[in-house]
Amino acid sequence: MKQWKRVQRPAEVAEHRLLEAILNGPFAINSTLPGERDLAAQIGVTRPTLREALQRLARDGWLDIQHGKPTRVRDYWQEGNMGVLSVLAQRPAQQTPDFVAHLLEIRILLAPTYTRQAMERASSEIARLLANYTDIEDSPPAFASADWELHHLLTLRAANPIFCLLLNSFQSLYQVMGERYFATPESRNRSRVFYAELLACAQSDACNQAETLTRKVMEDSLALWKNSTRP
């Protein structure tokens, strides 16, 4: 069947243009947007289309819309939500190394738990995946893809489905930053050891050991990232 090219709706175009203006100027945090007529003309859309885009951005935590008041750009770091985080993660080129470090700190808190839960529910499936990891091509893209596949499977098989939703929000960022992380032989070798040790845990149903191992490796990953981005 022929695959039709997806065409962006006018409201999506308006939303994208507003986001670019918020992230790159001229609509800075805590600034107010122009009136509807002027803003619609600047963006090149109709006023009804603009209103739809504004409502979507307000829903996702970018804008504060109150009747009778100018629309304000929220301090999205303080007032935002998962919608903001997902958008930021889809723009890896605009993120600083500190942003990735913050995400790695969160992964230290989450990955050990979802690894243990996944091991308790699907150790054989995890072992089958990891059995193929001895032959990963020695390149950053290959390791980034393999690491994503592993953590995606772990979150899929974890008892708590929120883990997978969270990880999926960072898929674009994961590959780009993963390639930067795996650029050094040290990081690739460390992950090879981790995959082998995690395979042993899966083969022996050592769920608690897998949790401890994952926490240690996530901590090591953060340290390696900080070292690699240090001036």
The residue that leads in pLDDT, 144 or 2, is 144
* pTM across the whole model: 0.79
Q: How confident is the model at residue 62 (pLDDT cuts 50, 70, 90)?
A: very high
CA distance 105 to 115: 16
Helix, coil or strand: residue 122: helix
**Per the structure block, which two tokens stand in for 62?**
């970018």
Q: Judge whether residue 30 has pLDDT over 90.
A: yes
Lowest average pLDDT, out of 60-74, 120-134, 161-175, 204-218, goes to 161-175
Confidence of residue 8 (pLDDT cuts 50, 70, 90): low
Report residue 4's pLDDT band, with 50, 70 and 90 as the boundaries.
low
**Is 201 within 8 Å of 103 (Cβ atoms)?**
no
- Total domains in the chain come to 2
Within this chain, do residues 107 and 169 fall inside the same structural domain, yes or no?
yes
Position 119 pLDDT exceeds 70? yes
Contact partners, residue 128, CB within 8 Å, separation at least 6: none
What is the rounded average pLDDT of the residues 48-74?
93
User: In this prediction, what percent of the chain has a pLDDT beyond 70?
Assistant: 96
**What are the beta bridge partners of residue 72?**
32, 64
14-34: average pLDDT: 91
pLDDT of 2 reads: 53
pLDDT of residue 199: 98
Instruction: Tell me if 134 is assigned to some domain.
Output: yes
Same domain assignment for residues 176 and 116: yes
Does the pLDDT at position 1 exceed 90?
no
Q: Are residues 93 and 16 in the same domain?
A: no
Q: How many CB atoms lie within 10 A of CB 48?
A: 11
Q: What is the mean pLDDT of residues 209-223?
A: 96
Residues 93 and 113 in one domain: yes
CA angle at 125 for the pair 121 and 127, rounded to the nearest 5°: 110
Q: Which of 22, 48, 80 is the last residue of a domain?
A: 80
The CATH number of residue 208's host domain is 1.20.120.530
pLDDT tens-digit readout, 120-176: 999 999 999 999 999 999 999 999 999 999 999 999 999 999 999 989 888 877 888
Quote the tokens at residue 25: 């100027």
Across-strand partners of 63? 73
Q: Closest Cα partner for 158 from 99, 215, 207?
A: 207
Average pLDDT value over all residues in the chain: 90
Q: What is the predicted pLDDT for the residue at 198? A: 98
Above 60 in pLDDT, residue 7? no
Residue 5 has what pLDDT? 56
150 vs 5, higher pLDDT: 150
SS3 call for 158 = coil
Phi, psi of 181 (to 5 degrees): -65, -45
List the CATH number of the domain containing 63: 1.10.10.10
